[in-house]
Amino acid sequence: GQQVQQSPTSLVLQEGENAELQCNFSTSLNSMQWFYQRPGGSLVSVFYNPSGTKQSGRLTSTTVIKERRSSLHISSSQITDSGTYLCAMELSGSFNKLTFGAGTRLAVCP
């Protein structure tokens, strides 16, 4: 079965609204990383967050290893936040190899 489950699959927001993206994993892991990707674009690392909470501007990531979940919170969304957000986990014993979720496609409308 799929080891990394992301939800929701897609999300539409009005500019200024908040968003909560979830990533759940079915096995133990070493670390979790969040990426942002524009259509046809490269993967930009948003957070490397193996555990706990990290914040960068309007973005906050929380990883709870025991509960096998990680979340990405976007506050006061902007049109430029539109794109796909991917979570990726480094499984225990996988030596830095990442297993990706399918992504959440976010559209922020004016």
Partner 1 sequence: EAAVTQSPRNKVAVTGGKVTLSCNQTNNHNNMYWYRQDTGHGLRLIHYSYGAGSTEKGDIPDGYKASRPSQENFSLILELATPSQTSVYFCASGEQGTEVFFGKGTRLTVV
Residues that bind partner 1 (CB under 8 A): 30-31, 33, 35, 41-43, 45, 48, 50, 86, 88, 90, 95-98, 100-103
* Least distance to partner 1, CB of residue 17, Å: 26
Phi-psi map region of 57: left, alpha, beta (phi>0 left; psi -120 to 50 alpha): left
For partner 1, give the closer residue by CB, 76 or 92: 92
| CA 71 – CA 14 distance, rounded (Å) | 20
* Least distance to partner 1, CB of residue 64, Å: 18
| CA 104 – CA 11 distance, rounded (Å) | 7
